Structure 1
Amino acid sequence: MRHLSAEAKGSSFWDRVRQSIGPARVEGFIDVVSRLTGAVARAMFVVLLICTPSLLLPGVTQDTTQMVVLIGLFAGLVTLIEYGSTYPCLIEFRNAPPFNRVRFLSLFVTVFLLSIIFRGLYEPTTLTRFVQAVGHLVGYVIDFPYSPVRLIMLLVPDQTNVEHMNLMRSAVGLSYLVSLLTLAVFLIVLRVLGWPNRTQAFNFWTNLPTFDPTMGVDVVTRLNRDARFNIALGFFLPFLTPAVARSASGLFNASMMDSPQTLVWMISIWAFLPASLFMRGIAMNRIADMIDEKRMRGARAVAAGLLPA
């Protein structure tokens, strides 16, 4: 049996499969139309996400509305270009659903629910009271010493009235619950659906456009290292963000309750970003395992004389 070094196995692996894992697939006319249609739909959903707080919250000024529309159109244009082009530049896991769908749905649900909560300040309805009650219950349960919710609540000024304090606790608790449910859904997708689909090609150019597998140390080592970094950062970020915000004087004050749009986005990003980093780390670890498995199969095939060395 021929002995293969790790470096030789790695180079022969990338020479054979270039930058994709799995069988190659040629894109046809129907695929192009489907990709462009999907890009337009995704761009519209992104615009809707950006505009959701302005649509649900009352008292939005005309200048704020114009700025939100401009930001939404820009984000939609970037999404359209990224998903409409053959090879994206920024968005990762474009051709590995439902990774980005889970992330987008998580952020949209968070923004929508927080907008409903803060809408209750001005126009209380049965829906706003129900969402506030659920958020208050969740916030009360996970508001224990040194928890992320407790650290965020410590940023609220002492002169804030009880109603606004309860509203903040509801928003923070509900957003954190959505982030935990997002991770649970993604883990279910990994286990049940076997993400990413091993019967299809996994192309590094379209799914990890900022990751060059041909540079640096062994690609599996780099993927595992990046995975550990993302998971660690996702774990510590909910605890570090309040500390950084506390050091920034004036970031949280009593007047913040007069700007519910700002609170919606700040709390949403605080809850969404750690979950997104967790998902990215888990995904990169799964891809590293796929590459390792393919290398082992290739090495066994070479040893059995089924493939040329």
Structure 2
Amino acid sequence: MALLVAIPSLVLTDTSNDAAQMAALIAMVAAVVTFVEYFSEYPTFLEFRNAPPFNRLRFLALFFCVLFASLLMRSAGNPDDASLLKDLSFSAAAVLDIPFSPIRLVTIAFGDLSHLVDISTVARIASVLFAVTVIVLVLFWLHARFIFWPIRKKAFNFWINLPLFDPTSGRDVLFRLKRDAHVNLALGFLLPFLIPALLQWSLGAFDAALLAVPVVVIWILCAWAFLPLTLMMRGIALFRVAALVEEKRRRAYAQDDELQIA
């Protein structure tokens, strides 16, 4: 986690001393929080802690998003820089940057900053990040659907993996799991379209020069790509947990019927 937070400061050559120090502080905080969460006996807020590869895939997705965005941002200042990632970014932008797509909306959101930010670079970075998140989402869906996640190796502990979800309060737990899954999937689908609109709406509240700083652009684009991925992965995971609960109830009811018949 510390390395992930520090990647933009390490890759970009024009990072100021203040930005580097702030990145180092945030990196240490992220490392400590992650260490305490995973080595504590009692869960706090991190979901699916003992249900790999949920958090591993999320970390890898964010890691590659930050790394690729940083490398592409650095190469944008060097026209002579030729790399496979840069070529792939042009190809991804050619395919994904179409009317009404999330990538096109991102470029429109940064349109007012065209004198400070290279819009073509933003489109290429957004296209690569979108492709990364789609790949990770498909991998997790395949794992959850066909490899018996999260009970392939051990039983699923509801309290440790969903510490913020109280199964004893409110309506039936199965109804609440499916409801939350639908809400997460819907928000995950809508956020790539909503975040650019919110960004453009809030441009007047911030200094445009601040939003045009390369590190800030990187983190805005990574948040635009990663937040929908997290919500959709959580929705898929909750649907899978709901299916496990439903199957366990079905078996319990079948066993009770057999006992009554006997």
Q: Give 1:125 deviation, angstroms.
A: 6.6
Q: Counterpart in 1 of 2:11?
A: 56
Change in Cα spacing, 1:209 to 1:125, as seen in structure 2 (3 Å) is farther
Q: Counterpart in 1 of 2:259?
A: 305
1:150 to 97, 104, 109: 104
Q: Counterpart in 2 of 1:167?
A: 121
Given that 1:160 and 1:254 are in contact with CA atoms closer than 8 Å, whether structure 2 keeps it comes out as no
1:95 to 40, 50, 60: 50
Which structure would you say has the larger Rg?
1
2:175 is aligned with 1:221: yes
Q: Counterpart in 1 of 2:2?
A: 47
Work out the CA distance in 1 between the residues paired with 2:204 and 2:12.
Answer: 24
Work out the CA distance in 2 between the residues paired with 1:134 and 1:163.
Answer: 21
Structure 1 segments of 4+ aligned residues over 6 angstroms from their partners: 251-254
2:36 is aligned with 1:81: yes
Q: Counterpart in 2 of 1:207?
A: 161
Given that 1:87 and 1:205 are in contact with CA atoms closer than 8 Å, whether structure 2 keeps it comes out as no
> Mind listing any 5+ residue stretches in structure 2 that lack a counterpart?
none
CA-atom RMSD, angstroms?
A: 2.2
Work out the CA distance in 2 between the residues paired with 1:59 and 1:160.
Answer: 20
Scaled by the length of structure 1, the TM-score of the pair is 0.79
Given that 1:234 and 1:273 are in contact with CA atoms closer than 8 Å, whether structure 2 keeps it comes out as yes
The one-letter code of the counterpart of 1:293 is E
> Mind listing any 5+ residue stretches in structure 1 that lack a counterpart?
1-45
2:249 is aligned with 1:295: yes
Work out the CA distance in 2 between the residues paired with 1:277 and 1:66.
Answer: 31
2:120 is aligned with 1:188: no
Deviations 1:254-302 (A, max 9, x none): 7468511111111011001101100000100110010110011011111
Identity of aligned residues (%): 41
Q: Counterpart in 1 of 2:200?
A: 246
Alignment size in residue pairs: 260
Work out the CA distance in 1 between the residues paired with 2:182 and 2:34.
Answer: 28
| SS of aligned partner of 1:90 | coil
Work out the CA distance in 2 between the residues paired with 1:178 and 1:67.
Answer: 27
